Every structure is written in structure tokens, then in C-alpha cells.
Structure 1
Amino acid sequence: MPKPNLRRQVSLWLLLPLVGLLALDSWLTYHRAMSAAHVAFDRSLAFSLKSIREGTSLHNGQIEVDLPYLALEMFESDVGGRIYYLIREENGRAVTGYADLPPPPGHAVPAPYETRFYDATFRGQELRMGMLRLPVHDVPSAQTRVAWIMVGETIEPRQALAREILTGSLLQEGLLIVLALAIVWLGVGRGLRPLNRLSAKVAARADDDPAPLDKAGLPSEVEPLVESINQYIARLRSMQESRRRFFTDAAHQLKTPLAVIQAESELALRETRDERASLHLKRLHGAVRQAGKSVQQLLSLARLDADSGHVVKLETLALEKIARSVTLDWSPVARSRGIDLGFEEEARVHVRGQRELLAELCGNLIDNAIRYAGDGSMITVRVATPPEGALLQVIDNGPGIAPQEREAVFERFYRSSATQNVEGSGLGLAIVREIARLHHARVSLDDAPGGGLIVSVLFAQSAAQ
């Protein structure tokens, strides 16, 4: 498949509207030309009416017509269109000419001595008609009759003149379109020169050159492209920094658990009593478990980081099924601490998301609630469908989080002042926010009625489908 060409695309985008405008202009030009032809040829009809008028008289109460030679020659000529005429009395009696020549519409009957032009169809031909309503006087007898003088001409000569004008106009406008496209072709080529220079500059850069591109000397239309490239370079640098920060954070987080493992192992080897050895081994197990959890959370954060390039493959999922399944998985842990862990499903909720990440989000929320609400507390996992989208909530009756700390708790390793003595790494809510970001959802913290904390994850309408 050939690659798209900007010059060709711009030329086509201009050509199609220009062709449309040319068609519209052709229609308008033809009608203007026909109007001009009517004006020119109507003068000939008016001359014929005037000639017949001069030869019309009244004798003994009868209208008589003496057609002048020039009018007769015009009527009998085969050059151009055919000419038809009729002179009749107002009562309808034909004096001479074609008796079935169509009269004007009722509203178009002219006043005395007034000439009126109109269009009509006669014997299958389109005619341009001219009519004069002429009072004729007989002075000796003091009688007056009204004569209708009607002359019609077929419109072929007018159409031929209009087509000739249209052809000349089309040739002229077609030439202008060709010249305009040629100018656009050259202009686009000249306008693309800055892009070609920019392309050469980017191709010549070293792979490890982090400096942003220089926008000096570039057209204003190209500056957004350069800005986007610079933003991309900045994201790459940020991603590299994020990787470095991850290893630093991981080392910092693992330092203490590993030190505990080492110390407890030494104590276990020194002790000879079984009970004390069991105690130290129990502490060792807890430290190892915490270290493993911290490593897993750090890996999750590295994978979910905004600069990691991680792409979430979305599919339509039943949120209530995922939340119920995760709640059941955490039930044994909750029972071991005397916690009443329940699940409420107000409605079936479908969201666009990734099953593993949504399960991890729900699991982190339940884990945090179990850790910080305390033994004997009550925790409820709730799924609902408010008008704004889909809602997942984890509600507990624990100590909650102070309002001034509710934004800070989403930072990595931040521990609320009320939970300093509780085992944890301070990474759970940071992971929850990153997963919510990937699903275009919003996380909020609120006070629970009667005390405690409500963690809400609201999926927008576009995600709740």
C-alpha cells in the first residue's frame, strides 16, 4: 500500500471543493447567460410587436392588420428559432396568425399599451412570448376595440448563446483551477522544507542525547510537533528516572526486613530453648513475609507507573463478580482477626478493564481495611451504579484517616500518623490510584457514618459499559 503523500492529499482536498464550486458556478453562469440572452432577444420581440402595432387598425368595427414586410420576412425565416404570431381581439376572435398560441397567465395580462414577456409551451416547444395589449380606435365611427398582439420565438438561439457564454467561462475557470493547484503544489513543497530540516536534525541526533529540540526558526504550525517530540523526550527521561527511583526505593524498603531476618536468624541459632527458638522463627517468618509483600508491591508500582509504557488491554467485565471473588479470598484472613467482612451488591455493574488489575485494586483496599481497621471491626465491600458511572467501595469502622492526610496517603511509603504501629509499607493506596488511573477512574476518601473510612473508586461513564 503506497504511503500517503501530503502534497497529493492537500491537492485532492482543494480539488474536490473547487470542482464543487465550479459546478455551482456553472449552474449560476448558465442562468445568468440565459437571463442576458432573454434581454437581448426580447428586444427583437419588442421590435416585432412595435412593427405589428403600426400596421393594426380598425375599419367598420373590424380589426385589420397590415403586416410590414420586415415582420413577414422575420416570421418566414428559418434562421435561428421559429417565430409564431397571433393578432386577436380581446373577446378571443383570431384576426390572423396561429389561433392556438397560448395567452399569458391571468395575472400576467398587461395593461393597455404595455408589453409583457412570458414563457410558454406551444406544440411541444418552449417559447419565449411577447404580448402587447393595444386599444385600436376608429375615429370616424368613434369605435374602439382592444387587440392582443402576441409574438413567440423558440428558445434554441437563446440556449445556444448561453452555452457559448458558459463554455468560455468554464475554460477560463478550469485554467484558473489548474494554476491554483500548481501554486498549491509548489507552495506545499516549499512549506515542507522546515519539516525536512527537522527530520534531518532528528535523524542526526545521538541515541543518548536527552536535549530537547530547538524550535528557533520553525513555523508556528510546526512548533506543536516539536513540542510533542520534546514532551516525549521528557517522558523518556522521566521513565529512566522512575526506573532508577524504583531500585532505590526497593533497596530502601528491603533493607530493614533483611536486617531483621539476619538478626533473628542469629538469635535462633544462639538459643537452645525450643519456645524461644520458635518465637524468633515466628518473627523471622513475619519479616520474610513482609519483605516479600513489599517486593511485590514495588514491582506492581514499577509496572503501573505512568512512564512505564504499560498498556492495559480493556474488556467488558462484571465488576460485582470480581469484587465478590476477591472478598471471598480475603475472608479467611478477616476471620482469623475476628473481622466481619461482608459484600453488598446493589446492582450488576459492567466496566471496561483488565481483570487482574481490578482484582489487585480490590485486594489492596480490603488488605488496607483489615490492617488498619483493627481486630473485631466490620468491613463491607459494596458495588453500586450511581448516575456518574460504576462505583466500588470498601467501608470500615476503624479509626479512619484525618482529612488533612487524605491526599498524602496516596504517596509512596506514606504512613498515616494513626497507623504508625501497624505493619505495612505504605504502598497499597499508591497502587490503587495507579490502577484507577489506567482505568480512567477516580479514588476518593470519605468519613463513614458512625466513624470509619469509605474508600470509593468511581469509574466514569465511558468505562462503565
Structure 2
Amino acid sequence: MPKPNLRRQVSLWLLLPLVALLALDSWLTYQRAMNAAHVAFDRSLAFSLKSIREGTRLSDGQVEVDLPYLALEMFESDAGGKIYYLIREDSGRAVTGYADLPLPPKRAMPEPYQTRFYDATYRGEQLRMGALRLPVHDVPTAQTRVVWIMVGETIEPRQALAREILIGSLTQEALLIVLALGIVWLGVGRGLRPLNRLSATVAARADDDPAPLDQTGLPSEVEPLVDSINQYIGRLRRMQESRRRFFTDAAHQLKTPLAVIQAESELALREAREERARTHLKRLNGAVRQAGKGVQQLLSLARLDADSGHLVKLAPLSLDKVARSVTLDWSPVARARNIDLGFEQEEKVDVTGQRDLLAELCGNLIDNAIRYAGDGSVITVRVTRAAEGPLLQVIDNGPGIAPQERDAVFERFYRSSATQNVEGSGLGLSIVREIARVHHARISLDEAPGGGLIVSVQFAKD
């Protein structure tokens, strides 16, 4: 199937309405030409009526008519039309001419000495008629008669003149349409030059060139297209940077645990006594566990990154059920560290979200609270419906976070000065922030009454 051609499409789009306009103009031109022909030929009819009028008189009670030479010449003309005339008395008696010529319609009935023109059909032919109603006086006898003078002409000469005018007009307009289409063809070709240059520029770009396209010299109509292309290039660049950042983060996060694994495994192989080997293997196990968790967190960040292209499908779900389930899952970890982990719920709270992501968000908040609040602390997971919408809170009575550090803790790998000796990767709150962003939620850190930290995730109203 041949590809569509813009020049051809524009020409066709213009040609069809132009042809329709030409047809409409042809009809209007023909009507105007016929009106002009009527005006011109009606003058001849009016002249004939006037000539006959001057030769009409009343003598001894009889109407007499002397047809002028010019009128007779007109009646005998072979110019292509037929001439009919009638002089009759108001009583209906025909004096001369074609006795059955039709009278004007009542709405066109002329007043005395007035000439009226009208269309009529006579012997199967269309006529253009002129009628004059003339009172004729006989002075010696003081008699008066009303005489009708009518002259009609077939409309072929008028139609021939109208067609001649129409053909001349159509020829001129058809030539103008051809010229207009030629100008459009050339204009579209010239207008497409910037697009051709843009196409050549894009084709010549290197695969790894992230620079936006230059808009200099482009028409304003093309600028939105270039803006869209530049936005697409920007998204690709951000996705590439996101990928590179992921690999950099992965390398940074895995480097130390893997080094520990290697060192501890070598020490375990060298140790001869079983107890010391168990100690090294225990450390090895902890390092491997930390590395596994770090990899999982990095994968979560890569999936949640705004420029990753990953689409998260949100659906209605029960926030309180998700939070309660995650709290129960972390209960054994809390008991092992003598931590009082509780769950509070005032009412059923529904949100629009993704269950696994919300479970990960809640789990990361509980994990952070367990790690940094310390053994013997009290942690409460609370789900309520605030005035602004559903609210998830994790409250602990630990050391909290200094106000000046509350924005920085959401950055990747950031570790608070008070938690440098606590095992962790510094990615938990970064993941929480990304999950909150995906759910159009707002996260905040506040000091708990009596000390500690309140982490609040405020969801929007449905």
C-alpha cells in the first residue's frame, strides 16, 4: 500500500471544496447572467411596447394599430428566438396578433400606462412577456377604450447569453483553481523543507546523543512537534540516568558486604577450631543477609523510580487490613528484641493503591522503627481517617530524628548521625518516599509526645 503523500492530500483536501464552491458559484453566476439577460432583453421589449403604443389610437369607436417599422423588424428577426405579440381590448376582443397569449397574473396586473414583465408558458415554450395597459381616447366622440399591448419572446436568446457569460466565468475560475493548486503544491513543498531538514538532523544523530533538537529557524507550527521530541529525548535521558544510577547504587551497596563475605569465608577456612569458625560463619551469614536485603531494596527503588517507565496499577483496597497483616508479620522480630509492637485502628479505612507496595511501605517503616528505636522500645502502627483523608502512622519512643535532618533522611544511603552504629542501608525511607509518590500521598516526620518519632503517610481523599 503506497504511503500517503502530504502534498497530494492537501491538494485533494483543497480540490474537493474548491470544486463544490465552483459548482455553487456556477449556479449563482448563471442566475446573475439570466438576470442580466432579462434586464437587457426587457429593454427591447419595453421599446417595442412603446413603439406599438405610439401607433395605437381610437377612431370612430374602433381601435386601430399602425405597427411601427422597427417593431415589425423585431417580430421578423431570426436571431434565434420567437416573437409573439397581441393587441386586444379590455373586453377581450383581439385587435391583432396572437389572441391566446396569456395575460399577466393578478399579482403582476399593471396599472394604466404601466409596463409589467412576467414569465409565461405558451404553446409549450417559455416566454418572457411585457404587458402595457393603455387607455385610448377618441377626442371627437369623447370615447375611451382600454387596450392591452403584449409582446413576448422565447427565452433561448437569453439562455444563450447566460451560457456564454457562464462559460467565460467558469473558464476563468477553473484556471484560477489550477493556478491555486499549483501554488499550494509549491507552497507545501517549501513549507516541508524544515521538516525535511529536521528529519535529516534526527537521522544523523548518534545513538547516545542526549542533546535536545535545535528549534532555530523552524516555523511555529513545527515547534510543538520538536518540543514533544525533546520531551521524549529528555525522558529517555532520565531513564538512562536512572539505570546508570541503579547500577552505581547496586555497586556501592554490594561492594562492602561482598568484601566481608570474602574476608570472613577466608578466615573460616583458615580457622582450625570449631567455635571460632562458627563466629566467622555467623558474621558471614549476617553479611549475606544484609547484601540480600540491599539488593531487594535497590530493585524496589529501580522499579519505583519516576523515570523507570514502570506503570503501577492502583485499585481500591483496605489500608487497615494491609497494615494489620504487615504488623503481625513483624511481631516475631519485635518480640525477639523485647519491643512492644502494637496496632491501632479506629475504623475501616479504604484507599486506592497497590497492595504489595503498601505492604512494603508499612514494612519499611516498621523495620526502621525496630532498628533505630532500640530494644525494649514501644512501636505503634495506627490507621485512621483524618480530615484530609486516610492516614497511616508509625510511632516509636526512640531517639527520633533531629529536625534539621528530617528532609535528608529520605535521600539514598543517608545515615543520621545518631544511627551510624545501627545496621542498615539507608534506603528504607527512600523506598517509602517513592511508594508514597506513586500513591499521591504525602509523608512527614514529627516528634512524638514524650520523645520519639511519628512517621505519617497522608493519603488523598478518594
For the pair shown, which has the larger CA radius of gyration, 1 or 2? 2
Q: 1:428 matched to which residue of 2?
A: 431
Q: 2:119 matched to which residue of 1?
A: 119
Deviations 1:95-127 (A, max 9, x none): 553445141342x33443232323344455443
Q: 2:450 matched to which residue of 1?
A: none
The whole-number CA distance in structure 1 between the counterparts of 2:319 and 2:123 is 86
Of residues 379, 383, 389 in structure 2, which corresponds to 1:379? 383
CA contact (8 A) 2:409 2:429 kept: yes
Q: 1:339 matched to which residue of 2?
A: 343
Deviations 1:60-109 (A, max 9, x none): 55544444454455446665233343444456665553445141342x33
The one-letter code sitting in structure 2 at the alignment partner of 1:298 is L
Q: 1:363 matched to which residue of 2?
A: 359
The one-letter code sitting in structure 1 at the alignment partner of 2:15 is L
CA contact (8 A) 1:395 1:455 kept: yes
CA contact (8 A) 1:59 1:138 kept: yes
Q: Shift of residue 159 of structure 1?
A: 1.9
**Structure 1 residues 141 and 221: alpha-carbon distance in aligned structure 2, compared to 1, 3 A threshold:** same
**Structure 1 residues 405 and 364: alpha-carbon distance in aligned structure 2, compared to 1, 3 A threshold:** farther
**Structure 1 residues 457 and 432: alpha-carbon distance in aligned structure 2, compared to 1, 3 A threshold:** farther
Q: 1:238 matched to which residue of 2?
A: 238
Alignment of 1:392-407 (within 5 A): 393-396=390-393
CA contact (8 A) 1:445 1:453 kept: yes
Q: 2:32 matched to which residue of 1?
A: 32
Alignment of 1:216-227 (within 5 A): 216=216, 221-222=221-222, 224-227=224-227
Alignment of 1:139-288 (within 5 A): 139-216=139-216, 221-222=221-222, 224-252=224-252
SS in structure 1 at match of 2:342: coil
Deviations 1:232-278 (A, max 9, x none): 444443333222222333445557877999999999x99969xx98x
Give the CA RMSD over aligned residues. Answer: 5.2
**Structure 1 residues 79 and 50: alpha-carbon distance in aligned structure 2, compared to 1, 3 A threshold:** same
Q: Shift of residue 281 of structure 1?
A: 6.7
Question: Percent identity, aligned pairs only?
Answer: 66
The one-letter code sitting in structure 1 at the alignment partner of 2:354 is L
The whole-number CA distance in structure 1 between the counterparts of 2:414 and 2:221 is 44
The one-letter code sitting in structure 1 at the alignment partner of 2:155 is I
CA contact (8 A) 1:119 1:129 kept: yes
**Structure 1 residues 303 and 445: alpha-carbon distance in aligned structure 2, compared to 1, 3 A threshold:** closer
CA contact (8 A) 1:49 1:150 kept: yes
Q: 2:459 matched to which residue of 1?
A: 456
The whole-number CA distance in structure 1 between the counterparts of 2:2 and 2:441 is 47
Q: Shift of residue 22 of structure 1?
A: 2.0
The whole-number CA distance in structure 2 between the counterparts of 1:404 and 1:50 is 111
The one-letter code sitting in structure 2 at the alignment partner of 1:378 is R
The whole-number CA distance in structure 2 between the counterparts of 1:146 and 1:193 is 80
Whether 1:82 and 2:82 are equivalent positions in the alignment is yes
CA contact (8 A) 2:7 2:185 kept: yes
Q: 1:388 matched to which residue of 2?
A: none
Q: Shift of residue 172 of structure 1?
A: 1.9
CA contact (8 A) 1:361 1:435 kept: no
Q: 1:385 matched to which residue of 2?
A: none
Where structure 2 has 5 or more consecutive residues not aligned to the other structure, the ranges are: 333-340, 370-377, 446-453
**Structure 1 residues 137 and 200: alpha-carbon distance in aligned structure 2, compared to 1, 3 A threshold:** same
The whole-number CA distance in structure 1 between the counterparts of 2:82 and 2:414 is 101
The one-letter code sitting in structure 2 at the alignment partner of 1:168 is G
SS in structure 2 at match of 1:427: helix
TM-score (norm: length of structure 2)? 0.69
Aligned residues: 426
Q: 2:305 matched to which residue of 1?
A: 305
SS in structure 2 at match of 1:27: helix
Q: 2:48 matched to which residue of 1?
A: 48
CA contact (8 A) 2:366 2:394 kept: no
TM-score (norm: length of structure 1)? 0.68
CA contact (8 A) 1:260 1:284 kept: no
